[in-house]
Amino acid sequence: MEHNYDIDSIIGLYLSGEADDQTVAQLNRWLDETPENKIYFQKVQAYWQNTELKVEPLHPELAYQKLKLRLSGEEKPGGRVVSLPSNLHNKNEKWYRYVGVAVVLLVCLGSALYFWSRPQEVLVEQEEIIPLLTKENPLGRKSMITLPDSSVVWLNASSKLTFPQKFVNNERIVQLEGEAFFEVAKDSLRPFIVKAGGVQSRVLGTSFNVRAYPGEHEVSVAVCTGKVEVSPADIAMEDSFVLMPAEMASYHKTRLIAQKSSFDLEMITGWKDGIIQFREATFYEVVEQLERWYGVEFVIYRKAPIKKGFNGRFKNQSLEVVLEGIGFASDFSYQIKGNKVIIR
């Protein structure tokens, strides 16, 4: 750690109780910069609390009296001896008192630096490393996951959710790739944050749907209950929204366009209840949805049979039933061989 000796003065003022609000704020900013800064501070603080040079609570007058005893030889220190030129005794008493404080602080901090340079047991307790868990669904599979805080997640097919084995600190953060519906357990002190496709959703307790498939150009967040704050995290946009029930935010990752709109609840969240729905869908949108839903691969030997857009709704139906309905409406035949669907 590259040492900054200016911080020693600030630490000394803080430990002696002489720091004002501005000094305390400066110390806190320095502590937040790196873990090494916290370790250094705790070592200095530990030495301060145990050293014989300390007077507690340290005050200029008390520090001056203690230093005078040391200089006169009336107090025999168990550690190092601090000496000042004798002519200082004849100087201004007020100035001398503050010199006393400064010397006490410098000796304490200098000793801490000495111990800092020696190999020793770290005084700070190491932060607990929390394992990350990943739940991933292949094509054709959906699942329900209960998180450590009792929040419930419905994870769609071809989707992946990463979350800690337990939530610590002051936030509950999960990473999503694909689509999921969240019912978040209320916790007013720890926001629940979903990071997906460069967009961050922040809530306290609510239910909402997030769709962020890697191959799609758009990321969407749709709120069913409660309130969600949505903002870009990794994409070059500045648009942030506060969403209420029945509102949805959409971010287009390539065109860098963001918008807020209303949405059809079943159209967006029906997938978790086994509902697959198409609205003016192109043939290739239908194929992509069915491949993901049923875990199959389409082999197409003809031009797209759907020209005007397909509308349809199916609930808990087999692939055969869905293909029969689409094939009848769009005039094409199909054949299923294993996990392949052949369109002729």
Domain residues of the chain, as ranges?
6-116, 132-267, 274-343
* 132 against 126, higher pLDDT: 132
Q: Determine the Cα–Cα distance for residues 212 and 195; give it in Å rounded to an integer.
A: 10
* 178 against 16, higher pLDDT: 178
* pLDDT at residue 123, rounded to an integer: 43
* pLDDT at residue 13, rounded to an integer: 76
* 131 against 332, higher pLDDT: 131
* pLDDT at residue 76, rounded to an integer: 46
pLDDT digits (tens, 9 = 90+) for 24-45: 888 888 888 887 888 887 777 7
The mean of the pLDDT values for the chain is 78
Prediction pTM value:
0.61
* 53 against 152, higher pLDDT: 152
Architecture of domain 274-343 in this structure: 3-Layer(bab) Sandwich (3.55)
Architecture of domain 132-267 in this structure: Sandwich (2.60)
Does residue 306 surpass a pLDDT of 90? Answer: no
Does residue 87 surpass a pLDDT of 70? Answer: no
Query: What percent of the chain stands above pLDDT 70?
Result: 71
Where residue 51 falls among pLDDT bands split at 50, 70, 90? low
Contact 148, 136 (CB under 8 A): no
* pLDDT at residue 85, rounded to an integer: 45
Q: Determine the Cα–Cα distance for residues 105 and 12; give it in Å rounded to an integer.
A: 6
Where residue 323 falls among pLDDT bands split at 50, 70, 90? very high
pLDDT digits (tens, 9 = 90+) for 56-78: 444 444 544 544 454 455 544 44
Does residue 156 surpass a pLDDT of 80? Answer: yes
Query: What percent of the chain stands above pLDDT 90?
Result: 44
Q: Exposed/middle/buried for 70, CB within 10 Å: 0-12, 13-18, 19+?
A: buried
pLDDT digits (tens, 9 = 90+) for 95-121: 444 444 455 555 455 545 544 454 444
Q: Do domains 132-267 and 274-343 have the same CATH topology?
A: no
The residue-averaged pLDDT of 157-179 equals 94
The residue-averaged pLDDT of 148-163 equals 96
Buried-state track 304-328, b at ≥16 Cβ within 10 A, e below 16 = ebbeeebeeebeeeebeebbeebee
pLDDT digits (tens, 9 = 90+) for 225-268: 999 999 887 665 677 899 999 999 999 888 788 899 999 999 99
**226 beta partners:** none
Helix axis angle for 6-15 and 35-50, nearest 10°, is 50
* pLDDT at residue 318, rounded to an integer: 94
Q: Which residues contact 279 (CB under 8 A, 6 or more apart)?
A: 267, 311
Whose tokens are 């040079």? That residue is 53
